[in-house]
Amino acid sequence: MPIREAIRDQMSRYSRTDTLGPHESYLSYHDVRLTKNDMACLKSDWINDNNISFWQEYLEREELSRHMGSAVILLRPSMVQAIKMNPNPEELEGALPDLKNSSHIFLPINDCRRVDDMEGGSHWSLLVVSVADRIAFHYDSMSPSNCTEAQIVHSKLQKILGYSMRFADLKDTPQQDNGMDCGVHVCWAMKHLLVRRLLVVERQKEVDMSLAGKKLDAARMRREMHKICEALRKKANRSLSPMQRIKGEGKDYPPRIGND
């Protein structure tokens, strides 16, 4: 086969996704690896831990990185679940980011209570802690479904931080109109509160943390997240040279952005 045709054939096969199994890797973005099933969840299903972890990674890399003085921490769902389920959360302090010197902590809250299933559960909400103000804001798109779960995490965080905090369950949080968009609401709220509130206000000034009056187009948010993933996959795909494709390098791995 002529070299040009071989390159074209290999590139075509590499870019196809219809042959991937549901649990096969689709995109590797820094510390998060998305599967084909994760991509399907973004379109119309329940948003899972991996989807939320990817979104946090993306916000860190594309938004927080532009603000070098920022001290905002986006805790991954697995970390939040570990805090919630550990009877002695202080033991986790060495494995966590420096929470005590942060300005705000974003924590996706899941209603799973099983220690042996760290990625289970059926509902997401968001807890945002203002460390300096010593207050935790809870955003639940199906209020008050996750209020107890958020209060448990709030209680455990107090032990890690070493002081008490107020807990504010924000009843004016936008509500979902179906049973599967809770994770989409969490991703939207994280971006809105981070990009349009915290990162545009000087650290010493007061920030309005209410989402009252806001309305989420969940379908549009899903499309935005899916489009970002596809764009990143194409960008990573382009980083491989034609000869790397022919040799099969990367064949067993997804398109990657970030260091190995």
Query: What is the token pair recorded at 8?
Result: 């074209």
The three-class DSSP label of residue 167 is strand
Assess contact for 54 and 83: CB atoms under 8 A: no
Assess contact for 199 and 67: CB atoms under 8 A: yes
Q: Does the N-terminal peptide bond of residue 144 adopt cis geometry, omega within 30 degrees of 0?
A: yes
Residue with tokens 């107090």: 158
Residues acting as catalytic residues: 123, 140, 182
Our measurement of the distance from residue 84's CA atom to the centroid of its chain's CA atoms, rounded to an integer in Å, reads: 18
Please tell me the distance from the alpha carbon of residue 79 to that of residue 138, in angstroms, as a whole number. 18
